[in-house]
């Protein structure tokens, strides 16, 4: 096994674009598309910086998650949003064929190439989250999501959290498995089941409040995420 894992960075919710063939479903929904439900503001920018600093393979999607959510398994109740509830089954199958399956195939290909060359893969999915959800303010700036039942992921995130806390101002709250659970149904969960212990799947969640900062500050945060990950044992 190689000393260093193959690094893959992905961003599933990088934009809120709607392919022309499906724009009729989104007429009058500009505010929804622009909201956190339509995309993860700032995530694509952060993913590009992190991948660049780490020399990692980068895979991204800028199609709105309201069309189909690439971070959900097939059959999940949130795979298609309520916007697409009126779409015929044939059209939803077409969307899967045009958007979902090609993206997942590219992720699988990258992981399998990494496993063949390095023996193990570290996959970092980059996301952002809304500061307030259902009227509750979330008490976290950066979340590191992982499966707590997997020792390597658990150890890596503990060490990464410690490295971030040491470098960030005290007001920055870096939490593990917040504001979401890392073992919930998502792309990393799909890949864990498919590839086993040679695959490590970690998700970064960045508070969208931080994404409203000036570009230089946003870039510095993404660079710090990459730098501290690079120095983390097991990464």
Conformational region of residue 114, where left means phi above 0, alpha means psi within -120 to 50, and beta covers everything else: alpha
CA separation for the pair 106, 110 (Å, rounded): 6
CA separation for the pair 166, 157 (Å, rounded): 14
- Cβ proximity of 188 and 123 under 8 Å: yes
**DSSP H or E stretch at residue 118:** helix 101-118
CA separation for the pair 129, 149 (Å, rounded): 24
- Cβ proximity of 143 and 178 under 8 Å: yes
Q: What is the pLDDT of residue 133?
A: 83
Only one residue has tokens 């700032």, namely: 42
91-103 b/e (C-beta count within 10 Å ≥ 16 → b): ebeebbebbbeeb
Q: What is the pLDDT of residue 2?
A: 43
Proportion of the chain in helix, strand, coil states, percent, rounded to 5: 45, 15, 35
Under-50 pLDDT residues of the chain? 1-2
pLDDT digits (tens, 9 = 90+) for 196-233: 999 999 999 999 999 999 999 999 999 999 999 998 87
DSSP character at residue 181? -
Q: What is the pLDDT of residue 134?
A: 80
Count of Cβ atoms closer than 10 Å to residue 29 Cβ:
16
Q: What is the pLDDT of residue 3?
A: 59
Q: What is the pLDDT of residue 234?
A: 72
pTM exceeds 0.85 for this model: yes
Residues forming beta bridges with residue 137, ordered by sequence position: 132
Find the radius of gyration of the CA atoms of the chain: 17
CA separation for the pair 234, 211 (Å, rounded): 28
**Range 6-230: architecture per CATH:** 3-Layer(aba) Sandwich (3.40)
CA separation for the pair 226, 51 (Å, rounded): 8
């Amino acid at each position: 096994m190689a000393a260093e894992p193959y690094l893959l960075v992905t961003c599933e919710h990088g934009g809120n674009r709607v392919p022309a063939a499906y724009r009729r479903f989104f007429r009058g929904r500009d505010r929804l598309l622009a909201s956190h439900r339509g995309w993860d503001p700032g995530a694509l920018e952060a993913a590009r910086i992190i991948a660049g600093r780490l020399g990692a393979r980068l895979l991204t999607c800028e199609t709105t998650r309201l069309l189909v959510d690439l971070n959900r398994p097939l059959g999940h109740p949130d795979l298609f949003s309520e916007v697409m509830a009126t779409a015929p089954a044939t059209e939803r199958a077409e969307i899967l064929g045009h958007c979902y399956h090609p993206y997942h195939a590219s992720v699988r290909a990258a992981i399998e190439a990494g496993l063949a060359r390095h023996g193990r893969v570290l996959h970092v999915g980059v996301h952002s989250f809304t500061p307030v959800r259902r009227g509750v303010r979330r008490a976290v700036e950066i979340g590191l999501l992982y499966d707590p039942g997997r020792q390597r992921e658990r150890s890596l995130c503990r060490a990464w959290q410690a490295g971030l806390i040491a470098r960030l101002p005290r007001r920055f709250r870096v939490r593990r498995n917040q504001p979401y659970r890392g073992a919930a149904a998502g792309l990393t969960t799909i890949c864990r089941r498919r590839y086993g212990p040679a695959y490590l799947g970690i998700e970064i969640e960045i508070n969208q409040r931080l994404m409203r900062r000036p570009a230089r500050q946003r870039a510095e945060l993404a660079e710090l995420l990459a730098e501290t990950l690079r120095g983390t044992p097991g990464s």
